[in-house]
Structure 1
Amino acid sequence: MRTEPKLTRLDRVFARLDREPERPAHIDVPKMSRHRIVLLAATLAFYGAIVWAVIITSWLVRLDWQVMFFRPYQQWSEIHWFVDYYVVLGQRGPTAVMVAAWLGWRSWRQHTLRPLLALGVSLLLLNITVGAAKYGMGRLGPHYATVIGSNEMWRGGDIFPSGHTANAVVTWGILAYMASTPRARRWLSAVSAVTSLGVGMATVYLGTHWLSDVLLGWAAGLLILLALPWFEPLIARSEARIFDLRDRLRARRSRTASAAVPVGAPHVVVTPLPADRDDVAAGSHRAPVYLAPGPHTARSERTPISPTGSRRPPHAERHPRGSASSARPLTGG
C-alpha cells in the first residue's frame, strides 16, 4: 500500500512558484545607475537643508507659523470630510495591507518572492530612518506648540519628519519601483509623487503637521526608494535562503513519510473467493456470474445479469426469436 503525502496550502503556493524558477525576462530590476545616484545626492542635500533651516529658525519656521494661524480647516471647512478620508492613504496599516495584497498577487504571477521582500525591506528602512529622526529631533506639532515663532525642537515630540508623507511615498512608490517596464515606472512614479504630496498637504490642512514636516517626510521617503537598488543583492539572497529552507523542510517531511511505511512490506492482493469447497479441492477458480461464461448466444436469448442479479423478471411465456411458437388464437369473424 502506497501513501501520498498530503500537500498543505503553503506547499501548493511554493509548487506554484516552482513552475518557473527563473525570473521572467521582461522584468526590469532597477540598478544603481549614475542618474539615480545624482538624484539620491540631491535629495539628501535637500533633506539636510530642511533640517538646517528648521534648526536655525529661518524663514521656513515663520512660514510654518503663518500657515498654522491661517487654519485651513476653518477656511475651507466644506472639504473637511474628504480630507479626513484622503489622509488614510498615508496611514501605515491600511496602505501596507493594500500594497501587500497587490504585490502578493504579483509574486504569484511572476513566480518570485521579490515584490514582497522589497516591500518588507522598504518598510523596515522606513521605520528605522524616520523613527530615529522623529525621536532624535523631538519636534512638537502645531496643536502642542508652546512658544510662537519657535521651532519647537527637542521638546519630546515625534512630528518631524511627517510619517504620513514618508509612508505614502514608500508604499505607493514601491508599486512604481516594481513596475515591469521603464514607461510604467515613470507613470507610476508621477502618480505616487502626487498622491504622497496630497497626503502631506492633507495633514497641513488638518493642523497635525507643519509644512516643513511634510517637505522633510517627502524627502525621507524618496531617499528610501532611491537607495533600494543597493539592497537588491540582499533581497536575492533572502529569496534563495527561503527556498532553500523550504527544500530542506520538504526533504525532511518526505523522509518522515517514507520511514512510516517499512521498505519491502508485502503487497496485499485481494482475489475473489471460490464459490464452494469443491472448487478449492479441484484447484479451479470459478469466474463471477456477471462475466457470462459459456458459448456465445444471441442477445435476445440472454437475460441481463448484474452482480446483484437479474433486473428482468422471468416470463414463462417468452420464447426466443426465430423459434417456433404456439399458434395465436384468432380473433374476429
Structure 2
Amino acid sequence: MRTERKPTRLDRVFARLDREPERPAHLDVPEMTRHRIVLFASTLAFYAVIVWAVLVTSWLVRLDWQVMFFRPYQQWSEIQPFVDYYVVLGQRGPTAVMVAAWLGWRSWRQHTLRPLLALGVSLLLLNVSVGAAKLGMGRLGPHYATEIGSNEMWAGGGIFPSGHTANAVVTWGVLAYLASTPRARRWLSAVSAVTALGVGMSTVYLGTHWLSDVLLGWAAGLLILLALPWFEPLIARAETWLLELRDRVRERWSAAAPAAVPVEAPVPLTPRPVRPEGDAPAREPASSPARAARPPAYLAPGPHTTRAERTPVTPAGSRRPPHTDRGTRGTSSTARPLTGG
C-alpha cells in the first residue's frame, strides 16, 4: 500500500513562497500616540544629559578612562575573533543590504513600497543627525586620546555618538517597527535591542569607542525610531507618487511599442472533385485557387533519355538549314540528257 509523503517544513516554506503576492487588507501603521511622545521626550532628555556630562568632564568621562585602561580586549582575548565578526552587525553597508533585501521581498509580496521607504527615511535621518553630531562635537576616540582625563572634545575626531551603535538600533529596530502583528513586533523589538546592545559593547571591548559614545548612540538610534510615525504621511505621499510614475511610464512604453502587423489567414485549397470512372474530366477554371497555388512546372515529365537518342531540334525544327536543290543522300539523281557520243 502506497502512502503519500508528509510535507516537511521546507516544503511548506517553498509553498508559501510560491503563492501569488497579495496586498494585506489592513496595514498596521504606528501612530504618534501619547505614550510614544513621552518616550521620545525622555530619550531626548537622556541624550542631552549624556552630552552635558561629557562636556563638563564629569564622572562619566572618568568612567570612560577607567574602562579604556582596563583594556577588555586584553582581559578576554579569547573572544576577540568572535567580537570582530559580531561588530559587523553595526556597520551601515552590510546591515543596510541585508535588511533592504528582506524588506524588498516584503514590498513585492504586499504590493506596497512602505517598507523600503521607511528604511530609506530612517537611514536618511540617521546619517543627518548622527553625522552632524559627530562633526559638531569632534571627539577623539580612545586610541587617539591626547590627554589623560580630558573629554577630547572639538579635537577633530568623529566618534561621538557611536555610529555602529546608532546604526544597529535603527537598522534592526525598523524590522520591529514594520512588523505586521503585535506579537511579531514584541519579539523583533527584543531581538533588535539585544543586537544593538551587543554591538555597542563590542565597540567598547575593542577600544574603538568610549562608553559614553555607546550610550549616546543608543539614544540617537532610539530617537529616530520613535520619530518615524511623524514621517508616515510623507512616506504615503511618496509611495503614491512613485506608483503613479510607474503607471505613466508603463503607458508611455505601451504607446511607443510598434503595433503588431496582422497576419493574413492562409487561403484553403479547394479539393478536386472525384469523378466517377468513365466520365470526362471536368476542366477547372483558370482562376481556381488550387491551380493558382500550384507552382509552375519547368521540366516536362517523362523518362530521361541518353544524348545519342536526342534529336537536335530548335523551336522551328531541325538545326540543319533546308536545301531544296539537294536531294536526299543515298538516292540516285534524276537522269541527265547525254550529249556527245
TM-score norm. by structure 1 comes to 0.75
Aligned to 1:103: 103
Tell me which amino acid in the other structure corresponds to 1:166. A
Asked if 2 retains the 8 angstrom alpha-carbon contact of 1:274 and 1:280, the reply is no
Pairing of 1:195-206 with structure 2 (within 5 A): 195-206=195-206
Give the alignment partner of residue 270 of structure 1, picking from 266, 269, 273. Answer: 266
8 Å Cα contact 1:138-1:154 kept in structure 2 = yes
- Supply the distance in 1 between the matched residues of 2:208 and 2:160 (Cα, whole angstroms): 11
Structure-2 residue corresponding to 1:188:
188
Residue segments in structure 1 that go unaligned for 5+ positions in a row: 1-17, 287-333
Q: Which residue of 1 aligns with 2:221?
A: 221
The answer on whether the counterparts of 1:27 and 1:181 sit within 8 Å (CA) in structure 2 is: no
1:231-246 matches, cutoff 5 A: 231-246=231-246
| CA 188–269 in structure 1, closer or farther in 2 if over 3 Å, else same | same
Take 2:159 and 2:287, find their aligned partners in 1: how far apart are those partners? 98
What CA deviation, in whole Å up to 9, does each residue of 1:177-203 have, x standing for no partner? 010112211221111111101100000
CA deviations on 1:107-160 (whole Å, 9 max, x unpaired) are: 121111111111111011100000000000000000000000000000100000
Contact 1:137-1:160 at 8 Å conserved across structures: yes
User: What does residue 286 of structure 2 align with?
Assistant: 281
Q: Once the two structures are superposed, what CA deviation does each residue of 1:279-303 show, in whole Å capped at 9, x if it has no partner?
A: 45274759xxxxxxxxxxxxxxxxx
Distance (Å, rounded) in 2 between the aligned partners of 1:84 and 1:33: 39
Identify if the C-alpha distance between structure 1 residues 168 and 58 changes in structure 2 by more than 3 Å, giving closer, same or farther: same
2:25 — aligned with what?
25
Q: How does 1:93-242 map to 2 (within 5 A)?
A: 93-242=93-242
TM-score (norm 2): 0.73
The Cα shift of 1:26 comes to 4.4
Report if aligned partners of 1:172, 1:192 keep a CA contact under 8 Å in 2: yes
> SS of 2:286's equivalent?
helix
Q: 1:270 to 1:282 in 2, by over 3 A?
A: closer
Q: Kindly state the Cα deviation for residue 25 of structure 1 after the two structures are TM-superposed.
A: 3.0
Larger radius of gyration: 2
Residue number in structure 2 paired with 1:254:
254
CA 1:279–1:242 in 2, change beyond 3 Å: closer, same or farther?
A: farther
**Counterpart residue number, 2:42:** 42
Cα distance change of structure 1 residues 284 and 68 upon mapping to structure 2, 3 Å threshold: closer
Q: Sort the Cα spacing of 1:279 and 1:168 in 2 relative to 1 into closer, same or farther, 3 A.
A: farther
SS in 1 for 2:156: coil
Note the C-alpha offset of 1:45. 0.3
Q: Distance in 1 between matches of 2:214 and 2:151?
A: 15
- Please, what is the CA RMSD of the aligned residues? 2.2
- Residue 274 of structure 1 deviates from its aligned partner by 6.3
Q: Which letter does structure 1 place at the counterpart of 2:44?
A: L
Contact 1:72 1:206 in 2 (8 A): yes
CA distance in 1, matches of 2:222, 2:233: 20
Unaligned runs of 5+ in 2: 1-19, 273-282, 292-341
Deviation at 1:250, TM superposition (A): 1.0
Matched to 1:268, the amino acid is E
What SS is found at the alignment partner of 1:281? coil
2 CA distance for matches of 1:94 and 1:282? 77
Tell me, in whole angstroms, the C-alpha distance in 2 between the residues paired with 1:43 and 1:85: 29
Write the distance in 2 (CA, Å) between the matches of 1:155 and 1:266: 76
Structure 1 residue 104 displacement after superposition? 1.0
CA distance in 2, matches of 1:280, 1:176: 84
Shift of 1:275: 8.1
**2:83 maps to what in 1?**
83
CA distance in 2, matches of 1:168, 1:80: 19
What is the one-letter code of the residue matched to 1:281? A
